[in-house]
Chains A and B, each alone.
Chain A
Amino acid sequence: MIEFRKEFFADERDDNLNEIGKPTRRQDILGHVTGRSPFFDDHLFDGLLHIRCVRSPHHHARIRRIDTAEAQAMPGVVRVLTGRDVPRNLNTLLSLLDFGIDDEPLLADSKVAYKGEPVAAIIAETEAQARAAVTKVRVDWEVRPHVLDVEEAIRPGAPVVCEVYKTNKFIYHGKYDHQKMRYGDVEAAFARADHIVEGRYQMSPIEQAPIETCGAIAAPETNDRYVCYTSTQALFFSLGTAAKVLTTPSNRFHFIGGTVGGGFGGKVDSVHEPIAILGAMLTGRPCKFAWDREEEMQVGAPRGAERWYIKDGVARDGRILARKFTGYFDSGAYTRLSSYAIIKSVGHLPGPYTIPNVHADVYCVYTNRTPATAMRGFGITGVDFAIEAHMDKVAEAVAMNPIDLRILNAYRDGDMKAHRREAKNCALIECCQVVADKAGIALQAASRAASSLRDGGGERGRLPAHTALDQHGVVTGIDTGGYARKTGAQGRPARHIEMPGYTMPTAASAGRAPAQSPARPGAASTAASPSTATEPPRPAPADGGNRRQGAMRFSAISGLRRR
């Protein structure tokens, strides 16, 4: 049952439009319900070959040798691919945005870092023949110790999962082994809080579970091009990745997709396309590479597990004075999208509430499991579970109705958010009120009278007078290459407030560090230092006025330019 509560925010809308707001039937529904919509797997060319991968049975192992001779001689086998066949066998999706370092082979050739990691691919006349030949590839493994828990993985002496990040932690901005948020001073606020509420929360890994598993079909086209039908959620990410790892100009690929049997995030960073195209290039025939259900569930990247610790300082009347987060994203064996999800997550903290002191340290941790990727609510779902389960505990600690507690702390138009931008277009309070009303829950008078449009801003709209900064987790000895920015943020802060010990960077301060020698992230080591409230050294920007240019784009986030 659904109702549209048009009385809310009515003066902000013009409801008299011709097509917008109408329950128009979907353009593609007749094709879908009659089973005629063409998906990638409906392009079964004559002579289509089938690709199946040989996968690691170990969590972590060195590859001494791969012997494909017996597999090559199996009935129907046309070709066996290994890492040596991939022109550029090292990739990370967001390198296309200059975010992150290539850290993952398409077909592993020196070591595997998770159970199920592909080491070879059989191309055969039928899928059954490809499956039969998979069992005949002989790999000489040297099994290594593995680590599966995020907090064990970051202890000294833990097995190194991903050779690019020797401490099993992603490096942010070339400077820290985690992403920080610092807003106000949580420790000072804890000291004057009436209640301290602490919690630990664990989000599970989850499969996107589309009905159509991930896959692609590629075929040679005339004029030395290749057509590729794909289930991708991001056509140009997939095309760009294929062009990169196959070292082929992008306009020699003709990608066709757009009608997909569910995605939920699991089809953003697929490498089915380049492997299918590589097969077509090397055999001269159409090739299909698609996961079966078992692969979709166990080697297809899931929503990553997240572990969150939250500590709140709360006043007797229910106002949350301070909130501190420590988060660990389980990235699995490679980076994929977890490093980026963490920045999204940190920008989301402390949830839809106005809390004057917020502190977060969030780590992207490598473990010997299937790499994690995007899924519905990417970077947000896990921490929202933690925040809202925690809010329930806070409500109990101060003996308040949980809905009254949310409304009391809810953000309103004009409030300052912890990422230092003004809140606008808020509607949390109204959502809470509607649900309470429907469920017959009597709220306090102040909660009933509250509005997102009123009582925000003012004192609540100011940046904290003092922010406690620290150098905890600083990475030394890392050489981040030419474009790392190690100083303050560029940005358009909503307000400029002078704070003792901290100067807001100006809009034009996004300076670049001078060019340095090539990246050597492996040289990283971390130095944990106790949190202090003093100002860290903040070198002046190298060139105060220059804007970013060219293809650097996201490089400033990772601090590690694509190599």
Chain B
Amino acid sequence: MGLHRGRGFAAINYPIGMNLGGDPSQALVHSNPDGKFTVALSSIDLGQGMKSVTRQIAAETLGVPVADVYVDTADSDTGPHCMGSFASRGTHRVGNAVIQAAQEARAVMLEAAAEELEVDAADLVTDGRGNIHVNGAPSRSITTMAACQAAQFKQGRTVSGRGIFLIPLSEVDPETGEMTPVSCFAHAALLVEVEVDDETGEVAVRDMQSAYELGRALNPKLVEQQLVGGAWMGMSHALWETTEPYYPDRSHGPVDFNHYLMPGPGDVAPHHISVLERPAPDGPFGGKGPGEMCANPVLPAVANAVYDAVGVRIDELPITPEKILRGIRANGGAKPRRRLAAGAA
């Protein structure tokens, strides 16, 4: 009788964006006369960082500092159409729309600068710090602010742009399921270590080692918050959460956070994350979207780790102490497997 350690592994991929496509999003970008830009969207910031990632994408594309860009989103009178923030589509779909809009605005800004500098716009580059100069001749320069002022007050140009991103809708064959579900995939592998108490059936997650491949990490801090939070949610799904504890019976449904169980701070395990970045050919700067997929490998990895620890397969979530104890009893005791011990081949 006692505590048994076990390790479990899982690997997954995840489709980015609304299944089958057909989910457009638009962006509008414009500058005020000081060369400060506003990105108008109708996407939703749920806490995932929608405003921030689109702000960085706009700044990178425009060639201006991120401080010169603000994102205004989700006012139906001013923001253009967006399908919404779900299906890991925000970064990929909206990001691409922002790039297109920002490219159009940038082109006008460079035309205005070219007229002031009396050069060809094709010879101009931005330094990302608020200056536009002739490629190879940094002294022949104008600030983005001066270019935008000239556009507004001297030249009568609108430094603005429109963008849309749409993956055309794929159909589905009723006979074979042939379809083009999405255009890019993120990936993950995760190994979890648990400790199972064979007297109480309780499971403690002790450690997580993961590798997530999510295209280019557009903002590494936003990626980190997603992966840390998502793995917590996966662990919670595996071991704690359900609205119907005796599914399909509807009794004993929780109605508040006292009864809807989730891991607290003391239950959270160290999580050692490695991020791999294989750029998506059609993603904004190669970005995919880490939002949803990061929870998925944790659920099966925990189930596999419980089996490794005590030899009980729990194929019905959540993996409660009751199910584990019944399984141990049915097996005539804990039967550790140890198939993923360090050094084992």
Contacts and interface: CB of A to CB of B under 8 A. Distances in A.
Nearest to A330: B248
Interface string A285-314: 000000001100110001001000000000
Interface in B151-180: 169-180
B130 to A, nearest CB: 11
A510 B11 contact: no
A361 B290 CA distance: 29
Contacts of A384: 10, 12, 296-297, 299-300
A259 B273 CA distance: 29
A419 B210 contact: no
A258 B83 contact: no
B177 A347 contact: yes
Contacts of A23: 219-221
A293 B279 contact: no
Given A3-B275, A420-B176, 13 more contacts: A28-B52, A148-B248, A256-B75, A258-B44, A260-B46, A330-B248, A340-B19, A347-B182, A348-B181, A377-B296, A421-B180, A489-B171, A489-B173
A54 interface: no
Closest 5 CB pairs of A and B: A234-B84, A258-B74, A347-B181, A489-B173, A388-B300
Interface in A119-156: 148-150
Contact of A418 (B65, B177, B276): B177
**For chain B, which range describes its interface: under 10, 10 to 19, 20 to 34, or 35 or more residues?**
35 or more
A464 B128 CA distance: 51
B218 interface: yes
26 contacts: A2-B224, A2-B274, A4-B274, A8-B276, A20-B218, A27-B52, A148-B250, A179-B177, A203-B317, A204-B317, A234-B83, A236-B81, A263-B46, A263-B86, A293-B257, A347-B19, A388-B10, A410-B11, A418-B177, A420-B178, A430-B211, A432-B189, A435-B209, A469-B176, A489-B176, A556-B171
B76 A239 contact: yes
B330 interface: no
B85 A233 contact: yes
B345 A401 contact: yes
A234 B85 contact: yes
Interface string B41-64: 011111101011001110110010
Contacts, number: 469
Nearest to B12: A384
B343 interface: yes
A419 B83 contact: no
A457 interface: no
Contact of A434 (B10, B274, B300, B301): B274
A380 interface: yes
B76 A431 contact: no
Contacts of B19: 340, 343-344, 347, 379
A265 interface: yes
B119 interface: no
A27 B70 contact: yes
A489 B13 contact: no
Interface stretch (B28-36, B137-145, B197-205, B238-246): B238-246
A379 B20 CA distance: 13
Contact of B45 (A8, A183, A260, A432): A260
A355 interface: no
Nearest to B18: A344
Contact of B277 (A6, A175, A410): A6
A237 B171 contact: no
Nearest to A385: B299
B303 interface: yes
A374 B285 CA distance: 28
Contacts of A410: 11
Contacts of B47: 260-262
B181 A401 contact: no
B333 interface: no
Given A297-B260, A419-B178, A343 B20 contact: yes
Contacts of B277: 4, 6, 8-9, 13
Interface in A315-360: 330, 340, 343-344, 346-349, 351-352, 360
Interface stretch (A44-52, A194-202, A518-526): A194-202
A157 interface: no
A13 B9 contact: no
Given A27-B71, A254-B77, A380-B296, A442 B276 contact: no
Contacts of B233: 376
Contacts of A268: 84, 86
A293 B243 CA distance: 12
B20 A392 contact: no
| Chain A binding surface, main DSSP class | loop
B169 A351 contact: no
B14 interface: yes
B263 interface: no
A20 B318 contact: no
A209 B11 contact: no
Given A200-B315, A380-B15, A444 B60 contact: no
Contact of B178 (A305, A340, A493): A493
A236 B41 CA distance: 11
Interface string A540-563: 000000001000011011010000
A554 B169 contact: yes
Nearest to B79: A235
B321 to A, nearest CB: 15
Nearest to B304: A392
A441 B175 CA distance: 43
A442 B191 contact: no
Nearest to B234: A381
B170 A20 contact: no
Contacts of B340: 401-403, 439, 441
A374 B262 CA distance: 20
A536 interface: yes
Nearest to B315: A201
B15, B71, B222, B317: residue with the most chain A Cβ atoms closer than 10 Å: B317
A235 B74 contact: yes
B184 A425 contact: yes
B78 to A, nearest CB: 10
Interface string A9-24: 1001100011111111
A115 to B, nearest CB: 7
A21 B286 CA distance: 11
A486 B172 CA distance: 11
Contacts of B300: 384-389, 391-392
A85 B301 CA distance: 50
B106 interface: no
A380 B318 CA distance: 17
A236 B83 contact: yes
A184 B159 CA distance: 55
B279 A13 contact: yes
Contacts of B279: 9, 12-13
Nearest to A29: B52
Interface in A363-380: 367, 369-370, 374, 376-380
B4 interface: no
A465 interface: no
Contacts of A260: 44-47
A434 to B, nearest CB: 4
Contacts of A485: 171
B12 A351 contact: yes
A5 interface: yes
Contact of B191 (A173, A293, A369, A435): A435
A347 B176 CA distance: 11
A380 B209 contact: no
Contacts of B170: 490-491
